[in-house]
Chains A and B, each alone.
Chain A
């Protein structure tokens, strides 16, 4: 036996085998080399030659060690060879990545189309998630925000108006004894206040009256000066205020010396003790804070004055149910002691979150953009399926030659991931633009603590979108491409066909899904825009484009009802005497809402309080109906005598008369109006009033039914409100009118600030911002969806034509007419369109059922029109998209077609 070990060991050294295993291999190969040596010697070779030849065979094909490197016994990293099995996972993925980039670089048009398609879907999803994240998901910028709750009450005994309702100041003090489950309880009341006496023009600012411990409760101390103290809330304490950071910069130039100075707030000298950071506007978007003791005496001493929004911080580990139980014990005790104001009142403890209606809209938006992304993925999947068909021979041969199916699938998925990542990068940029647009449009209507920024959560969502899109788009094409049907795939070469049945089925399924999703989205968008249009065109009853409105706020602290009557009476006289102004005063402008009251009609059985009908109440001046343009239908309007001596005269509108006096005998009838939360069996302390006239309808608010609301007009002298609207009709713009009216107001009292004047139409447009904003977003998403679905229909049909060119040529050569060729080409696409419409109808029906509940004044019976319109649009677009390649097919030269590969 020869010693082959040194030669073998030298060649095996780089493998770093286990010594025992190395010894086994050396022994086995040594036996083989012995046999080979004997064979060579038997054939006539010399000893040296036989040995040399045997050793040389160890180096064949790169050598023994190189061929053994892939084995698990070896501990050397194997070189990366394309197609070689057993390479490390990471190295294999890196190789796939390199190969994918090289492949995609050769197809820039294909890549650009896919990236554009996917980036649209990813962009809208990222944008909406950023909004949802900022509005709903992101934790509040307070200390331990999960322990902060809203506190208010429900009126369990009032079915018509169960609440939620605010709490009273005395109720707050009772609740603050709930120390077992609450660390702290505070309350706020948002009001506008007038500031002056600081060397600048008087101004109205949004302010909040707050408990002394409010800022410590939310964990946000002032940036300058000090917080409120318990002593600041005691009766007789020196008045103090805290400025907001934005107000401090804008009005006082960020001068730190403002702290300690005195300014007039609602005419009361008050010391500025602190300045909050600029981004703090608790509880909503406030820029000025006063202690609760600054509220009027009635607000502080009456249990029926429910003017405060409660906020609490739970103790660690305490649940909302436990806190509610403790507060319920207190409210039960209060109900027994103060039945007139606290009977049937139950505490409500809820997380400090945004309004549920806003959450519902956000969820609807997420659903909508999810559909858009699915349509985009279906489009891309179809494109990848087509590309997979073109590469099927390449892939199939690789499979036959030893490549694993998983390796093929992995490489194709890496290509998809690369495309999805590029799309994600583009989508991120687009979504940033969209978020900026939304944030700017919604700025004034969202709390100060709500930020719409792209943070870690948004990036994680974006990555998930990219990964999910790659899988959704690429899994089916990749799996299809890796099918090892050798003979069938190779036999496909050179034959004119539209691809395998399997692929056609998936293509058809994607087209159907796109059409169905587009139909659902378009239906929802059309419903919203229809609602918005109908709201904007709502018949208000009078011409409003030249009707301007401006609010005057008479601070409660400064003006008693008598002083308000005097002021408003003098203002009316000055406005009437000035020939340049055609103005009147009223508590509410048209479409400006109204006070809600329950109605009692003299001579009719008194119903239960909770079942009494509701009406709108407007307090008006002497020239209101002339200025607004409401005409008298029956009886008379309110006269000067009525407004000077308003014993019992009121005017109602046509709608009121139709609802409650169908026999037309409304003039002379007596009615009584009672407060919504008055607990009475029908007899109240309010006076009976006589209806003296009926005027034409002027809409004060939108109702779900779309009808005008029933309105009662009475003289403002009965109960002059703190806020009055000055209404002026003029050919000049609001700015000119504001100047004229402002001169009259300032002549009476220079400290009464004037809010900006605008036309009624402009105010309406502002109120419709949610419908405009979200309606526009839905429309944009639906348009993108339709564009993608249309593009998908076109590309699928065009691809089918290109694959069936020879077949079409054969048909034409055999005598087929243009119509049959057209049908052969478009028949499949049209069938898929029809199936998609049927499936989408089910989804659209769901949307048409659920959506109107969230729309104001949507009415009924209009949904079928919207749906029919959407179907017509989709069918037209779909037929048009498939007709273009069909026309091309009909014009094919049969000879050219037959020669096509």
Chain B
């Protein structure tokens, strides 16, 4: 049984950019997934991400809210203010129909990518 390992060379890719691109590419999927069941406000979103990732992923203010605003500008999220007596207003975000379509597409893309990465970094049998 012959084994071959394939090395993927990416000479044109900056690794810092790769790190940023990875987080950027996955962050949108994460946010959209969190909001799929129901509308949530920003603090709740950040705590859910931290909890479900067992602390591996953390979105603080400076990284979460610009992302929410960007997704809102694209029309994937819809924000609305909710007022309660004695408290500041909170802004809740929910998925729009376009956002649900994008979520489905990105899920498929991410799944393919993960499979491919697994093939490459795993062991082939000839």
User: Which A residues touch B60, using CB under 8 A?
Assistant: 57, 60
Interface membership of B13, Cβ < 8 A:
yes
Q: What's the least CB distance linking A182 to chain B, in Å?
A: 68
- A61 touching B62, Cβ below 8 Å: yes
User: In the complex the two chains form, what is the Cα distance from A403 to B24 in whole Å?
Assistant: 10
User: In the complex the two chains form, what is the Cα distance from A31 to B60 in whole Å?
Assistant: 13
User: Which A residues touch B14, using CB under 8 A?
Assistant: 82
- B62 touching A67, Cβ below 8 Å: yes
Contact A401 to B66, CB < 8 A, known contacts A31-B88, A486-B112: no
User: In the complex the two chains form, what is the Cα distance from A770 to B87 in whole Å?
Assistant: 93
- B6 touching A33, Cβ below 8 Å: no
Contact A63 to B62, CB < 8 A, known contacts A36-B43, A494-B4: yes
- A32 touching B65, Cβ below 8 Å: yes
User: Which A residues touch B25, using CB under 8 A?
Assistant: 400-402
User: In the complex the two chains form, what is the Cα distance from A27 to B41 in whole Å?
Assistant: 13
- B43 touching A72, Cβ below 8 Å: no
User: Which A residues touch B4, using CB under 8 A?
Assistant: 494
Q: What's the least CB distance linking B12 to chain A, in Å?
A: 5
Interface membership of B85, Cβ < 8 A:
no
Interface membership of A213, Cβ < 8 A:
no
Interface membership of B1, Cβ < 8 A:
no
- B63 touching A487, Cβ below 8 Å: no
Interface membership of A743, Cβ < 8 A:
no
User: In the complex the two chains form, what is the Cα distance from A27 to B79 in whole Å?
Assistant: 14
Interface membership of A397, Cβ < 8 A:
yes
- A28 touching B21, Cβ below 8 Å: no
User: In the complex the two chains form, what is the Cα distance from A593 to B4 in whole Å?
Assistant: 84
User: In the complex the two chains form, what is the Cα distance from A494 to B25 in whole Å?
Assistant: 27
User: Which B residues touch A71, using CB under 8 A?
Assistant: 66, 69-70, 73
Interface membership of A58, Cβ < 8 A:
yes
- A29 touching B115, Cβ below 8 Å: no
User: Which A residues touch B90, using CB under 8 A?
Assistant: 28, 31
Contact A82 to B17, CB < 8 A, known contacts A64-B61, A71-B70: yes
Near A by CB (< 8 A), chain B positions 69-126 give 69-70, 73, 87-91, 109, 112-113, 115-116, 119-120
> What are the interface flags for A491-505 relative to B under an 8 Å C-beta threshold, 1 for contact and 0 otherwise?
101100000000000
Interface membership of B18, Cβ < 8 A:
yes
User: Which A residues touch B69, using CB under 8 A?
Assistant: 68, 71, 73
- B17 touching A83, Cβ below 8 Å: yes
User: In the complex the two chains form, what is the Cα distance from A59 to B60 in whole Å?
Assistant: 10
Q: What's the least CB distance linking A132 to chain B, in Å?
A: 45
User: In the complex the two chains form, what is the Cα distance from A34 to B62 in whole Å?
Assistant: 15
User: Which A residues touch B42, using CB under 8 A?
Assistant: 28, 32
Interface membership of A70, Cβ < 8 A:
yes
- B62 touching A486, Cβ below 8 Å: no
- B61 touching A32, Cβ below 8 Å: yes
- With beta carbons under 8 angstroms apart, the residue of B18, B65, B113 that contacts A28 is B65
Contact A402 to B24, CB < 8 A, known contacts A27-B89, A487-B112: yes
User: Which B residues touch A73, using CB under 8 A?
Assistant: 69, 73
Contact A29 to B70, CB < 8 A, known contacts A400-B113, A491-B119: no
| Nearest opposing residue in chain A for B44, CB measure | A35
Interface membership of B3, Cβ < 8 A:
no
User: Which A residues touch B10, using CB under 8 A?
Assistant: 393-394, 397
User: Which A residues touch B119, using CB under 8 A?
Assistant: 487, 490-491
- B109 touching A486, Cβ below 8 Å: yes
User: Which B residues touch A20, using CB under 8 A?
Assistant: none
- B62 touching A57, Cβ below 8 Å: yes
- With beta carbons under 8 angstroms apart, the residue of A1, A72, A487, A494 that contacts B116 is A487
Interface membership of A30, Cβ < 8 A:
yes
- A394 touching B61, Cβ below 8 Å: no
> What are the interface flags for A592-605 relative to B under an 8 Å C-beta threshold, 1 for contact and 0 otherwise?
00000000000000
User: Which A residues touch B112, using CB under 8 A?
Assistant: 486-487
Q: What's the least CB distance linking A10 to chain B, in Å?
A: 14
| Nearest opposing residue in chain A for B43, CB measure | A35
Near A by CB (< 8 A), chain B positions 22-52 give 22, 24-25, 41-43, 46
Near B by CB (< 8 A), chain A positions 61-89 give 61-64, 67-68, 70-73, 82-83
Top 4 closest pairs, chain A to chain B, by CB: A401-B21, A67-B66, A57-B60, A402-B25
21 cross-chain CB contacts under 8 A? A28-B42, A28-B89, A29-B65, A31-B41, A32-B65, A57-B62, A58-B62, A60-B60, A60-B63, A64-B62, A71-B70, A71-B73, A82-B14, A398-B13, A400-B109, A401-B24, A402-B21, A486-B113, A493-B6, A494-B4, A494-B6
Known: A57-B61, A394-B13, A398-B21; 7 extra A-B contacts, CB below 8 A, are A34-B88, A61-B62, A71-B66, A398-B13, A487-B119, A490-B119, A491-B119
